[in-house]
Amino acid sequence: MRTRDLLIRQRTHIINALRGHLAEFGEVVLAATLSQLNDQIQALDAEIVRRAREDEIGRRLMTIPGVGPLIASALVALAPPPETFQRGRDFAAWLGLVPRQHTTGGKQRLGSTTKMGERSLRRLLLMGANSVVVWRSRKGATTGSWLAKMLAHKPPMLVRAALANKMARMIWAIMAKGGIYRAPVAAA
């Protein structure tokens, strides 16, 4: 997982350097290195997909919208055993996906997301949530669904963070209790 991230950062660095050289000299340089990095990333992607499909927990996690082979493999590899947490909220807090709580005088106020958890998994879940939001925005979220209501009344980045939090809770439930994701039935 981290090797793939490193290769992607290196590829981005080389692309930016290539753009600079092209603008400055009008020549194509570093193309072989860029091609080699792309080949390495594709090989790692294929290995990640293979491992996610072979792993029983990974297959179950991939039933959740927004969780693909990359996220499922990262969760299987990096997340502690689900028994470590009492509930899904604790897992989401470990990832840094819950709002900061300020409680005084019996009044609870929620602040911004803490971002104090496992950085790489949080980033992956936010990207997965983003893909769900973009896909639902293009397709049209089911009227009356949680996502449709959130998108209608909240800023898009807040919706992505809230969806990533919700996904983390679903992930914990699937890892701790078994089963697969089942889409909620629309209210009649």
pLDDT of residue 109: 59
Please write the tens of the pLDDT for every residue from 94-145: 888 887 665 666 666 555 555 566 788 989 999 999 999 888 877 766 677 7
DSSP string, 43-101: HHHHHHHHHHHHSHHHHHHTTSTT--HHHHHHHHHHSPPGGGSSSHHHHHHHHT-SEEE
Where in the chain are the domains? 79-188
pLDDT of residue 55: 93
pLDDT of residue 188: 46
pLDDT of residue 45: 93
Compute mean pLDDT per 10 residues along the chain, 188 residues long, and list them.
86 86 69 83 94 93 93 91 91 83 63 65 92 82 78 88 92 91 68
Angstrom CA distances, 68 to 58, 127, 178, stand at 9, 11, 18
The model's pTM? 0.77
